[in-house]
Amino acid sequence: MESQIRKIHQQLVNKEISCTKLVQERLDLLKSNTHNTVNSLLDTLALELAAKVDAKIADGQEIGLLEGIPFGIKDVYMVQGTLTTASSDLLKKYKSPYTATAIQKLFDAGAIPLVKENCDSFGHGSSSENTIFGAVKNAINTGLVSGGSSGGSAVNVAKDFTVFSIGGDTGGSVRQPAGYNKIYGLKPTYGRISRFGLMAYASSTDCVGPIAKSIEDIRIVLNVMSGKDIKDLTTYPSEAISEETILNADGIKTVGYFKNFIENDAIDAQVKADFLSAIKKIKAKGIEVRELDFFESDTLVSTYYTLAMAETASNLSRLDGTNYGNRIEGDTLKDTYSITRSENFSEESKRRIVGGNQVLSQGFSDEIYLKGLNVRDQIVANFEKDFKEVDIILSPVTPNSPPKIGDSLSDPLAMYLSDAYTVGFSLGQLPTLTVPQGTETGLQITAAKNNDELVLKFANFLKDTI
């Protein structure tokens, strides 16, 4: 698909459509939608900003590429003066006192925010069912989950309610729902985009990630949000990726895939067959394909959840009704903390907090947490070795197709295993893009750290190959 951002930009410049009309149409679609994608609309702000864009165009002034382009924001980002609920009872009345750096950069570029989008509460889940706003329904089949935790963001893009959306990816939270709804979703290299103002889930793997219908739109939004931020010391300076550099994939000579992902009883037979068919087409283009050895998916999932739950327990400890959150009084201060957290957290959040506290508790931290850190270091070393042999690693996004709504809630272990192919790349802090081709839930393209450009380049190659 062509760039929606460029198409709408040209329509605005040519005065084929007014920005106010464009924004109002998208707001109307969001209001009437039955996929449960909306936590709150930013209609007053959006229409005010749209009127300013129209006035600028009427005055004969030039507008930037993102100026007047409507977008959505996962409800875990701070936007000053707006509700930021994380789809939770605990923060359902919380208003942001400031704006996240990544979102502020989009505002500065003139993009127009329409909506705070439904998601798994605090990003805890792989289905967007763990939310007080109702399960988000898949864009293609409403009986299926949308994927999580950025399910509302993915569905809004897939249904054209927003031109692009900003999700958050910790263990696959952008890539998996992008795959379930057949669009593009990027987890950039960790640190390329500031996390300041993104509600922390697992800080060592949290990433800001754009979701869109074209590679070009992903590139445009990525460039705007990237860069060093003094408010997030994990960020680093990065050069903008030009449109020209990602159109030619001649420099990509070798592609690898993890054979234990594919030669596994857990993978759906059709997903396996489609993936191997995609590999065959890539070989036919003269690219060398190598099988790689990697950690078993069970090891990846258990390592990821060990570390993620530990970080969750730490990050969410401040949500006690005194510092933050909807307070419920008890007989004592300790009771107040206990009741507030018990009544306001979702079952999935409580499961992760309890698990994290167990991992970090005295007597277990050496045995479990430090062992998890050690395995993560081995995973990173394995990736460094692999990227000396291949330019790109390709994999299915998920081993199976999206489950029916309700199934994940009754079987949390199955939900965790749906992340089996995404969490390893999160632990490696690698740039990884979901593309809507190759298998029912798409393919995942990964390159070495800080090589986001190569990921987009190979995505363009696949678009013309598969």
Omega prior to 149 cis, within 30 of 0: yes
Instruction: Determine contact, residues 229/197, Cβ cutoff 8 Å.
Output: no
Q: Please give the Cα distance from 202 to 200 (Å, whole number).
A: 6
Q: Please give the Cα distance from 103 to 197 (Å, whole number).
A: 9
Which residues are paired to 38 by β-bridges? 117
The yes-or-no answer on residue 395 being catalytic is no
Instruction: Determine contact, residues 120/94, Cβ cutoff 8 Å.
Output: no
How would you list the strands of the sheet with 184-187, edge to edge?
38-41, 112-117, 70-74, 164-169, 207-212, 184-187, 432-435, 443-446, 392-396, 254-258, 288-292
Q: What are the Cα distances from residue 361, in Å, to 255, 317, 339, 357?
A: 42, 14, 22, 6
SS3 state at 343: helix
The yes-or-no answer on residue 173 being catalytic is yes
Pairing verdict, β 164-169 and 112-117: unpaired
Q: Please give the Cα distance from 174 to 163 (Å, whole number).
A: 16
End-to-end CA distance of the chain: 14
Single out the catalytic residue among 126, 128, 149, 297: 149
Single out the catalytic residue among 88, 127, 173, 238: 173
Single out the catalytic residue among 3, 18, 74, 346: 74
The yes-or-no answer on residue 194 being catalytic is no
How many other CB atoms sit within 10 Å of the CB of residue 59? 7
Q: Please give the Cα distance from 137 to 148 (Å, whole number).
A: 11
Q: Please give the Cα distance from 212 to 262 (Å, whole number).
A: 28
For the annotated catalytic residues, the residue numbers are 74, 149, 173
